[in-house]
């Protein structure tokens, strides 16, 4: 079962002499249960692809399906993008970006509330347990290690049980061992939650945690 299908997605920045084809007719299919690495040099289009698929910065053309449903047709969303994002997507960034004056569990709880969960507090605690940071539920972000903060951020991204989890260099701020354990966590999430996880990474040391590796070059997916 496909979590995501993207067909002929293109996006340019600028015009005339300054035109950059950041995404050049990209097609991509991600299966549920797969954890996929997206590699490529700086400027090759990785962030633009994540933002296009994440409905953050829409492509000019292309069709995108999530969980088998068409969500983007000729670059145009078929429903409110906020609602589509809440239904299908979770995001993890390089920095955890937790709200500093809320505890770990409150940070996750508000995401569960926004997602319309019946019992947001219980769901938040379950997610923190699942990510191995249940014992830090009442800690403020500043008292958590970098790896713990990132686990809380991943719990928050799972609040709405996304079909597709998008992560942009999630281990860049972590040391080798913590980076590896976060990548292994993504693999477990993909396999157990029946979601696809797409991770932009430069970290070649952790590539064995992935089921599939794609490489981008000049706005295209070069190799599988």
Least Å from the CB of residue 210 to ligand ADP: 17
Q: Does 13 bind ligand ADP (CB under 6 A)?
A: yes
Q: Does residue 47 belong to the site contacting ligand ADP (CB under 6 A)?
A: yes
Three-class SS of the chain: CEEEEEEEEEEEECCHHHCEEEEEEEEEEEECCCEEEEECCCCCCHHHHHHHHCCCCCCCEEEEEECCEEEEECCEECCCHHHHHHHHEEEECCCCCCCCCCCHHHHHHHHHHHCCCCCHHHHHHHHHHHCCCHHHCCCCHHHCCHHHHHHHHHHHHCCCCCCEEEEECCCCCCCHHHHHHHHHHHHHHHHHHCCEEEEECCCHHHHHHCCEEEEEECCEEEEC
With CB under 6 A as the rule, give the number of residues binding ligand ADP. Answer: 12
Name the segment binding ligand ADP (CB under 6 A); options: 45-53, 72-80, 98-106, 107-115.
45-53
* Of residues 15-44, those binding ligand ADP (CB under 6 A): 20, 22, 40, 42-44
CB of 82 to ligand ADP, least distance (A): 21
Closer residue to ligand ADP in complex, CB, 43/115: 43
Q: What is the rounded (10 degree) CA torsion for 6, 224, 67, 76?
A: -10
The CB-of-202 to ligand ADP minimum distance in angstroms stands at 10
Q: Which parts of 128-167 interact with ligand ADP (CB under 6 A)?
A: none
Minimum CB distance to ligand ADP, residue 42 (Å): 4
Question: Rule CB under 6 A: is residue 46 a binding residue for ligand ADP?
Answer: yes
Question: Which residues in the 63-102 window bind ligand ADP by CB under 6 A?
Answer: none
Q: Which is nearer to ligand ADP, 128 or 199 (CB)?
A: 199
To ligand ADP, the closest distance from the beta carbon of 1 in angstroms equals 28
Q: Which two tokens stand for residue 149?
A: 């903060």
Q: State in angstroms the smallest separation of the CB of 94 from ligand ADP.
A: 12
Angle, helices 176-193 vs 146-157, to 10°: value is 20
Can you give the binding site for ligand ADP, defined by CB under 6 A? Answer: 13-14, 20, 22, 40, 42-48
């Amino acid at each position: 079962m496909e979590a995501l299908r993207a067909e002929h997605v293109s996006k340019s920045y600028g015009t005339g002499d300054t035109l950059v084809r950041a995404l050049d007719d990209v097609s991509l299919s991600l299966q549920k249960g797969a954890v996929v690495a997206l590699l490529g040099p700086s400027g090759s289009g990785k962030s633009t692809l994540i933002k296009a698929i994440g409905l953050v910065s829409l492509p000019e053309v292309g069709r995108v399906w999530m969980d088998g449903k068409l969500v983007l047709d000729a670059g145009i969303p078929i429903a409110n993008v906020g609602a589509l994002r809440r239904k299908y997507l979770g995001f993890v960034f390089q920095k955890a970006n937790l709200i500093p004056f809320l505890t770990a569990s409150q940070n996750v709880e508000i995401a569960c509330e926004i997602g319309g969960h019946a019992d947001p507090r219980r769901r938040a605690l379950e997610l923190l347990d699942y990510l191995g940071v249940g014992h830090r539920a009442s800690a403020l972000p500043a008292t958590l290690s970098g790896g713990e903060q990132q686990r809380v951020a991943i719990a928050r991204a799972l609040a709405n049980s996304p079909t597709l989890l998008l992560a942009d260099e999630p281990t860049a701020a972590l040391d080798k061992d913590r980076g590896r354990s976060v990548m292994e966590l993504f693999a477990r999430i993909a396999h157990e939650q029946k979601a696809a996880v797409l991770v932009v990474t430069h970290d070649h040391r952790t590539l064995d945690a992935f089921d599939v590796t794609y490489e981008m070059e000049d706005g295209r997916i070069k190799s599988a």
